[in-house]
Structure 1
Amino acid sequence: MTALPYPAAMPARLIWGVALLAAAVLWLWGATIAPFAFEYPKAWQIPAAKWIGGFINWLVKEAAIGPVAFADVTRFLAAVIDAPYRFVLSLLSTGVLSGEGSSAVQLWPPLPWVAVIGVFVLLGLWAGGVPLAATLGACMGFVAVFGQWDSAMVTLASIIVAVPIGVVGGLLLGIAAWRMPWLDRAMKPVLDLMQTMPVFAYLVPILILFGFGPTAAIVATLIYAMPPMTRITTLALQRVPGEVHDLGRMVGCTPRQMTWRVLVPSAREPLMVGVNQVIMLSLNMVIIASMIGAGGLGFDVLNALRRLDFGAGIEAGFAIVALAIALDRLSQALARRGREAEARGGLAQRHPYVLAAVVLIAVTWVLGLLLPAVQTYPDAARLSTSPFWAAAVEWINLTFFDTLEAVKNAVLIGILVPVKRFMLSLPWVAVVALLALAGWRLGGARLAALVGGLSFLIAATGQWEKAMITVYLCGLSTVFAMLIGVPVAIAVANRDRAWAVTRAVIDTLQTLPSFVYLMPVVMLFRVGDFTAMIAVVAYAVVASIRYTVLGLQGVDPRLIEAGRAMGCTEWQILTRIRLRLALPEILLGVNQTVMFALSMLVITALVGTRDLGQDVYIALTKANPGNGLVAGLAIAFIAIIADRLIHAAAEGQRAKLGLTGGGA
């Protein structure tokens, strides 16, 4: 057993008892003795917003790389990204245009919808056979039949450009971090901020540096989607077996050959997980990207939210889900196909499919010039479920209005308001100290310094009150999500058919844009904290179910059989064996639920919450990069604090249970 990070003479309970007693005394009588402990003095505040705003102005107006202004460098990068995007967009959506704006004239039409679906089907046949081809055809057919084709092609164009850049950039950064451990250590906090800071917070600086339009949206997507690829690349290369390294050295590989011909191919499977994550996160960004000129399906969802048109919003949302499923299944199949083709040592079998695709495109393009229905999906054949969804929400509202209001008021008065008042009444000094103590108890002095320092910075930048509202909303949402998710996971974990259905549902919920959750909730409950909490719970419950099932399914069946042999009841087996052994994964599920909740809280600022998310959104509307980044950093600090503490607690549970080699 490792030594506890506190003196043995002082048991943990005594330390916590003294700390909590001191915090209670400060909470009850500190307002008169030490008023600064409740509200951080303005004279002591760090003017971070002013510093950040000044730095961005300096970047735009004065910074230079040699003789070239920094702003010119960013605009050049924007032009480099814009060129392939315009090319792909012309193939899929706009066609070849002459002129700009509303005066542009189409010289050649884009690829017909029949050709695009046909190419996806051929890719499916080549990569995974008839089942995959049918899945891809059904997904793309759904997009066409429900009238989302034009917007989906705009979104697909941005994904086709953003994903390769994100994959290559993440791969190169991951390789560099693997080669240079100091770079890995330096990059970790940067990657943490990239993943935890709300995207809204850095949209304004991106607009200032890269301009308004699809290119800026692609840059924002890359910042959000690249970190998982970087982390997975470093981890995958670190886990390549030593025998592979020895084999490469034995055959005389140079460092470059060792990397690209030995190690990267050996790590293909985890690297494809990174590619999949880049695709999924890029699709998650489409709505936020639409705010800065990306257009596409994201703009349709955002426009539906502004009109509270739930039917139109959910149709566009399901089109995003269809794209996500198609790209996810295709990327996984291509990874498997790549390994198989390499094992056979030939590429000749690809040529029939390439030839078929070329012929299909040529034939359908010519037919499209003659038959409009081949070029563009006919309006008369389109379907729409929008009236159904709108009528369903209206019926629920009219039929259950009194019940919904009673539930809303009961939760507000009985839970939300008391917890919110309690959180706002806490002295920041006591909270910082208790967080530092928790870090010390779970991970030693380094973790104590991290969580204590980050929580202090939240207070020192004047964000404490809004941060407490954020923590209250996120905390309660996480509790409710776990109360729903854990029982559901227990019910389906050992039932294959039930878990298959549940997994399909939560996969859909996870890929459905978060904005879609807001519309029905606002229509039923109007704006406010309760509305925000319901939307957050609906979005975050996926993580609690997924990780709990993972933990329960990972319990050794022999231990369960041993429990039954000893006469344990099913309840005892569940509570004393299965849940106990699954606790590390359940804690990681709590971690991910917190991350989902925090990411959703920024979006719920649109429905009237008064937390850090609202500050981020207001800064975006006022083009104030300083205030937006400070509020975004505060949210990131909350996420990092929760992540480190919960991760340390999960590792502690693993150590107590004698589990090794696990943990995320």
Structure 2
Amino acid sequence: MTAPLAIQTETATTATAPPPAASQSAPGGRWPARLLWGIALAAFILLWQFGKPVADWAFKVPRDWRIPAQRWISDAMRWLLDEASFGLFTFTDLTRFIAGAIEAPYRFILGLLSTGILDGRGSSATQLLPPLSWIAVIGVAMLIGHYAGGRRLAALVGGCFAFLAVFGQWSAAMVTLASILIAVPIGILGGLLLGLAAFRWRPVEAALRPLLDLMQTVPVFAYLVPILFLFGFGPSSAIIATIVYALPPMTRISLLALRAVPEEAHELGRMTGCSKRQMTWRILVPSAMPGLMVGVNQVIMLSLNMVIIASMIGAGGLGFEVLAALRRLDIGAGFEAGLAIVALAIALDRLSQAFAARRPHHESAEERERSIAKRHPYLASGVALILISTLAGLVSAPLQAYPEALQISSGTIGSDIVGWINVHFFDQLEAVKNTLLLNVLIPFKRFLTGLPWIGVVGLLALAGFRLGGWRLALTAAALSALIALTGQWEKAMITVYLCGISVAIACLIGVPVGILAAGRERLWKAVELVIDTLQTLPSFVYLMPAVMLFRVGDFTAMIAVVAYAVAPAIRYTAYGLRRVDPHLIEAGIAAGATPWQLLTKVRLKLALPEILLGLNQTIMLALSMLVITALVGTRDLGQEVYIALTKADTGRGLVAGLAVAFIAIIADRLISAGAARLRVRLGLATAEEIR
């Protein structure tokens, strides 16, 4: 039993003293805190109801107070492009060089997988060598799977790649895979080096933390414009955008993995006289490898999440197929391309997990004396397969490219289903849509947009102080005030309204499903498969059926956001309930608690910190999806970011993107602080551990 817990039942009541940390809830005790909240809420309501005639500045920031951040950012970008110089070369020369350095290996890998090795470019290019055949790619993928995880993994990986060929997505998938094979190694190496720097020097860690927060919360659309300006239009820009998006998790996980290396490993390095470089690369990094492979997995998954957005700036591949299908509202074609991304994600995810779990093999003296083919049988088999399949492909075209006659397409099925629903249930769908719009969405939107900004800033500061002290109070107040002072308050409130309603509905769906699945192993496996698929499907795929059923507008955006963001609510609820200490459940049963009381008084209370973390992740996914739902006519910060992208307005896009990031950071910090305090109150952690 990890901590004392009061379990109340109708027939018996057993009470225990609360843990000592529970009395440390806030300065001054519970009643002064309630009094403080009461005074603050009373002042807020008075200002909201009666303050506008005498204090209009509290509701709309005066122009004289606004910070011209958009102009500053745009001017800085123009200076970088036109005037910034390092003497021998300009800043623009540097960025173009970086783009060229990335494009060269990309073109080579693209040639191997898709176009063949070409001499020249454009229409005048001639093919020197054909690309690897579909048989060779599938075979090599299966060999890698067998090497990493055995027959089962080989069959799974082979099936995923065969799916790409059978459903006609092979060519686009190979373009996407070429981008991934460039972006992932750079993201892994960059994240590892940054993590090592943060591990070695605390000032670097302190400087990186807010930067990583911004990189993970600023919408991708917001920094597509400066990337386009700096690196031009094309696959290299898309790869750079992917790296920026996937780098933060690798950096954070690298730092955590290096810190988790046991002290015994450090002692071993010191005893053997290792230099700093040897200590890093021969002791610390190998010891941290299991944790680092988790970061590798995250880089792969995030890179695949970027393929559609990257297609907007020249990436092509599966992302372009989904985007084109969205523009045509062709749900079948979009869903097929989306499932192809899922298949690629599953294959790469399982391979990275298998390599993470694989133990290193050290060659014996006898093995070193063998021939290269016997020492490296998988490598030899792969080379032989490539050579044989290439020669066979020159003789028979179906062995080089999968025959179109054997391809399967379900393209019309999705469109037919949505069309049938529209024909038979149009009136019912419109009734549901209009009811929610008129009675829930619009009133809540008017409520939030009518609140005084200065009062909201004050309440957020008070919440930050109560949950985390002065530092969190200042963070919440400063970030929310910056949203107002940069002229983004009204659009920010619309973003909060859409995000808030979507998250509430996602939790109303996700928490009960998580509760049902937590205690039933078979059901949980089925639910886990569904939510894994939901999290790997590209976000754009959710827009197509929503638009076809409900047209454009806030309701459509809400439906897409709920579908995209519901997975963490389910996953974290089930995870929290499944890890509750069985001894506490037994204590509740012994005390005579009913199943309902066990759920509400014991299991849900102990799982509440994890449920709050699930809420946090749901909010993060909802905010990221809201930027994409700008394509269906919302009028929030996401629309502002999208307009800035279409007009190539760097300042406008970054300011709106930073406002989204500030909302995400405020929500993250407040919910995390609340979850930490709750763990202390429940006795699951001490105040010292939380700090």
TM-score, normalized by the shorter chain, greater than 0.5? yes
CA distance in 2, matches of 1:344, 1:57: 60
CA distance in 1, matches of 2:122, 2:223: 28
1:400 is paired with a residue of what secondary structure?
helix
Q: 2:674 aligns with which of 649, 653, 659?
A: 649
CA distance in 1, matches of 2:181, 2:690: 33
The alpha-carbon deviation at position 335 of structure 1 amounts to 2.2
| Structure 1: segments with no counterpart, 5+ residues | none
CA distance in 2, matches of 1:311, 1:224: 28
Aligned to 1:612: 637
CA distance in 2, matches of 1:72, 1:428: 44
CA distance in 1, matches of 2:205, 2:345: 31
1:106 is paired with a residue of what secondary structure?
strand
Q: 1:341 aligns with which of 336, 361, 372?
A: 361
Asked if residue 246 in structure 1 is aligned to residue 267 in structure 2, the reply is yes
Asked if residue 539 in structure 1 is aligned to residue 558 in structure 2, the reply is no
CA deviation digits over 1:256-307, x for unaligned, max 9?
A: 1111111111111111000000000000000000000000000000000000
CA distance in 1, matches of 2:39, 2:203: 40
Task: Tell me the percent identity.
Answer: 65
Asked if residue 501 in structure 1 is aligned to residue 526 in structure 2, the reply is yes
CA distance in 1, matches of 2:34, 2:685: 27
Aligned to 2:238: 217
Instruction: Identify if the C-alpha distance between structure 1 residues 342 and 274 changes in structure 2 by more than 3 Å, giving closer, same or farther.
Output: farther
The alpha-carbon deviation at position 545 of structure 1 amounts to 0.6
The farther-off stretch of 99-108 and 33-42 is 99-108
Residue type of the alignment partner of 2:388: V
| Structure 2: segments with no counterpart, 5+ residues | 1-20
Aligned to 1:293: 314
TM-score (norm 2): 0.94
CA distance in 2, matches of 1:358, 1:71: 41
2:127 is paired with a residue of what secondary structure?
strand
Q: 2:462 aligns with which of 437, 445, 460?
A: 437
CA distance in 2, matches of 1:576, 1:248: 50
Aligned to 1:268: 289
Which structure 2 residues correspond to residues 52-131 of structure 1 after superposition, within 5 A?
A: 52-131=73-152
2:353 is paired with a residue of what secondary structure?
helix
Aligned to 1:519: 544
CA distance in 2, matches of 1:444, 1:398: 56
CA distance in 2, matches of 1:231, 1:107: 44
Asked if residue 639 in structure 1 is aligned to residue 677 in structure 2, the reply is no
The farther-off stretch of 654-663 and 356-365 is 654-663
CA deviation digits over 1:298-323, x for unaligned, max 9?
A: 00000000000000000000000000
The alpha-carbon deviation at position 496 of structure 1 amounts to 1.1
Asked if residue 176 in structure 1 is aligned to residue 201 in structure 2, the reply is no
CA distance in 2, matches of 1:584, 1:264: 32
Aligned to 1:15: 36
Residue type of the alignment partner of 1:643: D
Q: 1:624 aligns with which of 643, 649, 667?
A: 649
CA deviation digits over 1:106-125, x for unaligned, max 9?
A: 22210001100000011111
CA distance in 2, matches of 1:536, 1:350: 52
CA distance in 2, matches of 1:6, 1:58: 50
CA distance in 2, matches of 1:190, 1:488: 36
Whether the 8 Å CA contact 1:591–1:646 is kept in 2: the answer is yes
The farther-off stretch of 243-252 and 30-39 is 243-252
Aligned to 2:250: 229
CA deviation digits over 1:581-605, x for unaligned, max 9?
A: 0000000000000000000000000
Aligned to 1:492: 517
Asked if residue 161 in structure 1 is aligned to residue 182 in structure 2, the reply is yes
CA deviation digits over 1:192-230, x for unaligned, max 9?
A: 000000000010100110010000000000110000000
CA RMSD after TM alignment:
1.5
The farther-off stretch of 297-306 and 326-335 is 326-335
Whether the 8 Å CA contact 2:472–2:669 is kept in 1: the answer is yes
Aligned to 2:61: 40
The alpha-carbon deviation at position 6 of structure 1 amounts to 3.6
Whether the 8 Å CA contact 1:5–1:440 is kept in 2: the answer is no
The alpha-carbon deviation at position 497 of structure 1 amounts to 1.0
CA distance in 1, matches of 2:156, 2:315: 27
CA distance in 1, matches of 2:308, 2:190: 23
Residue type of the alignment partner of 1:175: L
1:341 is paired with a residue of what secondary structure?
coil
Aligned to 1:356: 381
Asked if residue 581 in structure 1 is aligned to residue 606 in structure 2, the reply is yes
CA distance in 2, matches of 1:128, 1:64: 51
Aligned to 1:134: 155
Q: 1:456 aligns with which of 478, 481, 488?
A: 481
Residue type of the alignment partner of 1:551: G
The alpha-carbon deviation at position 66 of structure 1 amounts to 3.8
Whether the 8 Å CA contact 2:26–2:33 is kept in 1: the answer is no
Residue type of the alignment partner of 1:341: H
The alpha-carbon deviation at position 389 of structure 1 amounts to 1.1
Asked if residue 417 in structure 1 is aligned to residue 439 in structure 2, the reply is no
The alpha-carbon deviation at position 99 of structure 1 amounts to 2.5
Whether the 8 Å CA contact 2:294–2:356 is kept in 1: the answer is no
1:293 is paired with a residue of what secondary structure?
coil
The farther-off stretch of 150-159 and 401-410 is 401-410
The alpha-carbon deviation at position 658 of structure 1 amounts to 1.2
CA deviation digits over 1:14-57, x for unaligned, max 9?
A: 11110000000000011111000000001210000000000011
Asked if residue 49 in structure 1 is aligned to residue 70 in structure 2, the reply is yes
1:32 is paired with a residue of what secondary structure?
coil
TM-score (norm 1): 0.98
Whether the 8 Å CA contact 1:5–1:443 is kept in 2: the answer is no
Aligned to 1:283: 304
The alpha-carbon deviation at position 104 of structure 1 amounts to 2.2
Whether the 8 Å CA contact 1:201–1:631 is kept in 2: the answer is yes
